[in-house]
């Protein structure tokens, strides 16, 4: 059996990012993965400017509170004043450039109007007060966005702030999903005797879409070798990755393994984790389309996706950091039946900040995944008690 890390290393070392890059306008770039680092050609802010509405002065002219200065210019944002003569003040507004010679801005709340266009400055300024310095945010030539960054609202705003209108992003990873199992019935239909509803197909689609993949639902394959082979051949054509759920155990109804072997190549990994022991990895078709077979049990399928598919898919999408942050939290539950494999228990953070376990950790109980908001990662053979520290992976960080 492979450890989690060994299996993940195998998977990640085979994950090559999609090559094609497209240039997208900012309006449609949110959620995409930046393909090339972005370097600023401008300085932000471009000039020293005022952080407040108030009066630009020379500190040397205001040695004490109550000094009156003539207001000889008015500088709103968007205009440029002229050099400040000694012994004068400039009315200035937030974002307006500081005139040459001025070394502080006094907030208008600390000033009052005097006679003859004078301002009375009631606060002694210190040099640099209320001045935002040129380049304080970004220096020209600085890298502002690294390749492999997912473009969220802040990144889109940052690109705009340096004048970039279009960003190079990687094309979507194209994923084909196949379900196997003659017992599966699609939701919306009555359940025949011996049937169960197909849940994996639907949550897998949602998970891939939440990572930002272009998903093709290639349907539900009958449990025969020929149908499975045909579905794999069909899916290999236009996709970067084919993912199946179910059919990778060793029963004679499990046709995914022989079908992949016949259409390409396959390794079946037994991984020392629970849930989710078997994971199939291979290639299909003449283009060598990657293939990953997930376990059929819904919880195994769900957890295996988070632990393996997610980092693999992110790497293929060109994302820079693919491993989730784990948090050290305190358990609210006892775990008395440690497994002989590293376990990923469905859990959630209670109101007091401690982590509670879902009472039924069986791999068929999908309710546990909906109830939970994360996984507790427990080493093999390791019981724990309420109050003990546990390693917690939040779904919010994973999806």
List residues binding ligand AMP (CB under 6 A). 179, 181, 183-184, 196, 198-201, 245-247, 249, 295-298
Is 181 one of the binding residues for Mg ion (CB under 5 A)? yes
Give the pairing type, strands 38-39 and 389-394.
unpaired
Cβ at position 194, least distance to ligand AMP in Å: 10
What tokens appear for 219 in the block? 């349907």
Output 3 or 199, the one with its CB closest to ligand AMP.
199
Cβ at position 247, least distance to ligand AMP in Å: 5
Q: State how far the Cα of 366 lies from the Cα of 349, in Å rounded to an integer.
A: 18
Is 293 one of the binding residues for Mg ion (CB under 5 A)? no
Cβ at position 300, least distance to ligand AMP in Å: 8
Output 181 or 298, the one with its CB closest to Mg ion.
181
What tokens appear for 111 in the block? 């000033």
* 156: phi then psi, degrees, rounded to nearest 5: -65, -40
Output 200 or 289, the one with its CB closest to ligand AMP.
200
**Positive/negative CA dihedral, 149, 152, 154, 160:** positive
Cβ at position 261, least distance to Mg ion in Å: 17
Partner from ligand AMP, Mg ion, none contacting 161, C-beta within 5 to 8 A by type: none
Q: Binding pattern to Mg ion, positions 243-282, x when CB under 5 A?
A: ---xx-----------------------------------
Q: Count the site residues for Mg ion by CB under 5 A.
A: 3
Cβ at position 1, least distance to Mg ion in Å: 22
Partner from ligand AMP, Mg ion, none contacting 275, C-beta within 5 to 8 A by type: none
Which of 140, 146, 182, 154 is closest to 45 using CA atoms? 140
* 230: phi then psi, degrees, rounded to nearest 5: -65, -40
DSSP string, 1-12: -B-HHHHHHHHH
Q: State how far the Cα of 372 lies from the Cα of 165, in Å rounded to an integer.
A: 41
Contact yes or no for 398/310 (Cβ under 8 A)? yes
Positions that interact with Mg ion (CB under 5 A) = 181, 246-247
């Amino acid at each position: 059996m492979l450890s989690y890390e060994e299996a993940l290393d195998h998977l990640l070392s085979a994950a090559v990012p999609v090559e094609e890059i497209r240039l997208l306008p900012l309006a449609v770039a949110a959620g995409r993965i930046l393909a090339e680092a972005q370097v600023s050609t401008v300085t932000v802010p471009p000039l020293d400017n005022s952080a407040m509405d108030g009066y630009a002065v020379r500190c040397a002219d205001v040695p004490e509170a109550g000094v009156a200065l003539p207001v000889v210019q008015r500088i709103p944002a968007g205009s440029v004043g002229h050099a400040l003569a000694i012994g004068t003040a400039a009315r200035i507004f937030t974002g307006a450039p500081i005139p040459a010679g001025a070394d502080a801005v006094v907030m208008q709340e600390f000033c009052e109007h005097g006679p003859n266009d004078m301002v009375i400055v009631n606060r002694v300024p210190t040099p640099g007060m209320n001045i935002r310095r040129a380049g304080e945010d970004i220096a020209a030539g600085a890298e502002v966005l690294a390749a492999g960054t997912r473009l969220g609202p802040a990144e889109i705003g940052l690109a705009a702030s340096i004048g970039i209108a279009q960003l190079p992003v990687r094309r979507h990873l194209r994923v084909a999903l196949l379900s196997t199992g003659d017992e599966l019935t699609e939701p919306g239909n009555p359940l025949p005797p011996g049937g169960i509803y197909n849940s994996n197909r639907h949550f897998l689609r949602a998970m891939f879409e939440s990572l930002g993949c272009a998903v093709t639902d290639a349907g539900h394959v009958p449990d025969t070798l020929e149908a499975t082979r045909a579905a794999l051949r069909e899916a290999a054509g236009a996709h970067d990755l084919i993912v199946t759920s179910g059919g990778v155990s060793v029963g004679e109804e499990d046709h995914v393994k022989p079908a992949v072997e016949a259409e390409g190549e396959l390794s079946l990994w037994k991984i020392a984790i629970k849930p989710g022991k078997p994971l199939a990895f291979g290639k299909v078709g003449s283009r060598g389309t990657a293939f990953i077979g997930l376990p059929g049990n819904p919880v195994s399928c769900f957890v295996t996706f988070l632990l393996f598919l997610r980092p693999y898919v992110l790497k293929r999408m060109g994302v820079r950091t693919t491993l989730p942050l784990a948090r050290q939290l305190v358990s609210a539950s006892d775990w008395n039946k440690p497994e002989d494999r590293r376990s990923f228990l469905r859990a959630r953070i209670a109101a007091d900040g401690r982590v509670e376990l879902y009472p039924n950790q069986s791999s068929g109980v999908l309710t546990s995944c909906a109830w939970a908001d994360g996984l507790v990662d427990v080493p093999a053979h390791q019981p724990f008690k309420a109050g003990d520290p546990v390693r917690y992976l939040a779904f919010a960080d994973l999806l």
